[in-house]
Each structure stands twice: as C-alpha cells, then as structure tokens.
Amino acid sequence: MSKSIRAGLKRKSFFLAACTIFGLSNAEATGSIKDWLAKNTNQGEVLLCEREVEGEYFFLTRSNEKFKIGSRLNMSGHTSTQAFLTGWQFQNENGKSLSTKVPPLRVKNEYVKVNEAVFAENIQYQTLNLQGSKVMVVSVYIRKCSASGCDPLKKKSKDDKEYSLKLCEISLN
C-alpha cells in the first residue's frame, strides 16, 4: 500500500468496505457493466461515472444530495478464506477530501456466482461535502487478501493483490 493511501486511511479520507466469503448466492448472468448498472441503480439517480477494468466494475451515482458507490470485484480463484478491502477516495481540485464523518450506509455487500466466476459486490450510500468545490476526483483502492491478515493499516503480504484506480474526474459546475 502506498504511503499516501496509508496516510489517507489514518486521516479517514477513505471509506473502506470489507467482506469475507462465507457463502455464495447464485445470480443471473450480467454480461456487461450496463447490465450490472441497470440492476443496481435506481430511477432518478444520475450516473456520474462508471468504469470497467479487467472485468471489474465501479460506479458513482447521485440523487439530490445522496451519492451511491458500487464495486464488483472478481474474486475467482481465491479460497473461501479470502477477503477484500475497497477504499473510496473523493477529493476536490486542490486534493482536499470531500468525505464527511458520516459512515456509509450499506445497500449490498455479498458474493455472487455468475457461471464459474465469483464476484464480490459492494454498494453503499456515501455522504460527501461538495461545498465550494469545482471538481470531484474519485479514486478507489482495492486489496484482496486472506481474511486473517486483511488489515488496512498493515503492509500487504506477498500473496495479497493490491491496486489503485483513478475512476473519474467530475466537473461540479
């Protein structure tokens, strides 16, 4: 984990979602990000950004002052003791965090099996403070790790998979 991500976690400018595999639910095959978005967004929500990276999906929507964030991570090939961390970071044009101290409200946090693939799906409502900001930069940090060692403040083990993505930059004007 980079020093800036670790510092962000300590400052609480990231909100983390964590999950461990306990059981799987079967899901209808969702072949594209568009299908998955249609299943996980509501009428009246404005899609601010979506991104597909190597078969993993991410999105951000807004309805009035409510923001919904979602991720679908490919956990195929991991054992039943695997877990994941997802850290969302929201910053303005000056690098200032837009996150508030209000904890996210979980909508969905589950593992689904689609054909032979296993996905970790996490969707939650996030409170953000956009006051005075002109731009919102959205990034996500992912770590796939063993459930017993999946601590966001500790260094990753050699078996962990860890990466960060800049999802989008949104004009707020």
Task: Name which of 90, 85, 71 is nearest 11 in CA terms.
Answer: 90
- Model pLDDT for residues 38-75, shown as the tens digit of each residue: 999 999 999 999 999 999 999 999 998 899 999 999 98
Domain extents for the chain? 3-171
Q: How many CB atoms lie within 10 A of CB 41?
A: 18
Q: Does residue 116 surpass a pLDDT of 70?
A: yes
**pTM: predicted TM-score of the whole model, two decimal places:** 0.81
Q: State which fold the 3-171 domain adopts.
A: Immunoglobulin-like (2.60.40)
Beta-sheet strand order (sheet of 82-91)? 14-20, 82-91, 135-146, 161-171
Q: Does residue 126 surpass a pLDDT of 60?
A: yes
Please give the residue that has the higher pLDDT: either 7 or 67: 67
Query: Looking at residue 27, what is its pLDDT?
Result: 52
Query: Looking at residue 80, what is its pLDDT?
Result: 57
> What's the CA gap between 71 and 86, in Å, rounded?
8
